[in-house]
Amino acid sequence: MDPADFYTGIVAELYGPLKSFSQDPEPYAAFIRQAGIPALELGCGDGDPLLELCRRGLDVDGVDSSADMLERLRRRADEQGIRATVFHQRMEALNLPRRYRAIFLAGPTFTLLPDDATALTALRGIRDHLTEGGTALVPLFTPAPTPAEQIGRVRTATAPDGAELRVSVVSEQRDETARTQTTLLRYERHHGSDSTIEDRPWIMHWYPRDRFETLAMTAGLTVIAVTDPDGKPAFADSTDLLHFRLRTT
């Protein structure tokens, strides 16, 4: 399936109940306060941290490739009485009605783009949607292989209607040359005699620091800082989560 369609159907349904953590909104609120508004969250999913940022009165739009995840976001926004503007578009095909002082991803969602060519197109879209002097924040990391003992291990949760929800890693392939890791995930929903089981390939594509900087430069963006999540300068060879700050050139 197309990587942009991963978070649809049963995956979108199970995402919330099986989610192990929610993004802390504070680092992104701080980024927006520093870079300015309006702001845009790429890959906003079902609303973390977008809804909290909107609740705080920040002018933040969202965009995501999954209509199913955006429907979950809208339901949550209605339940919480939050007004949120979101768009159903792919990160690599942005065509939004306004430009932004701040564009960010809340977590390393950029690694879901399957190759460098798609990443370059996405970076050009970011450049086109930033105001002059605008800033983008792109977190990146190098995924580690799934430990052998976790292959086949099942995580479970219970849906509001009592259905048993399950997710497990079936297999994994890693290509160091292409810089991709493809994890085959099995999603299950069991309710009485009704069962739905679906396997989905989850592709992550990573970037050496110098490669990402070259892509950004080619797209018309300058890397102004590379830090760890705490804002400290990152080591050049780090494979941990790095925050790249980009500015229009």
Give tens-digit pLDDT for 220-237.
999 999 998 888 888 777
Query: Strands 180-191, 154-158: parallel, antiparallel or unpaired by DSSP?
Result: unpaired
Alpha-carbon gap, residue 58 to 205, rounded angstroms: 31
Cβ-proximal residues to 134 (8 Å cutoff; 6+ apart), any chain: 35, 36, 99, 100, 101, 102, 103, 247, 248
Beta pairing partners, 223: 246
pLDDT of residue 235: 78
Give the Cα separation of 139 and 104 in Å (integer).
8
Please give the pLDDT value at position 230: 80
- Joined together, the tokens standing for residue 188 give 């299950």
- Alpha carbon 13 to its chain's center: 17
Letter string b/e over residues 183-204, b meaning 16 or more CB atoms within 10 A of that residue's CB: bebbbbbeeeeeeeeeebebbb
CA-CA distance, 8 to 65, in Å (whole number)? 9
pLDDT at 249: 76
Q: Nearest-5° angle of CA 135, CA 136, CA 142? A: 145
The separation between CA 2 and the C-alpha centre of its own chain, rounded to angstroms, equals 16
**pLDDT per position as a tens digit, 145-167:** 999 999 999 999 998 899 999 99
Cβ contacts of residue 249 below 8 Å, gap of 6+? 217, 220, 221, 222
Alpha helices, H only, 164-225: 209-218
Can you tell me the distance from the alpha carbon of 32 to that of 239, in angstroms, rounded to the nearest whole number?
A: 26
| pLDDT value for 84 | 96
Torsional sign, CA 202, 203, 208, 214: negative
- What does the domain layout of the chain look like in residue ranges? 3-143+206-248, 148-203
Give the pTM. 0.95
Regions of the chain with pLDDT less than 50 = none
Classify domain 3-143+206-248 at the CATH topology level.
Answer: Rossmann fold (3.40.50)
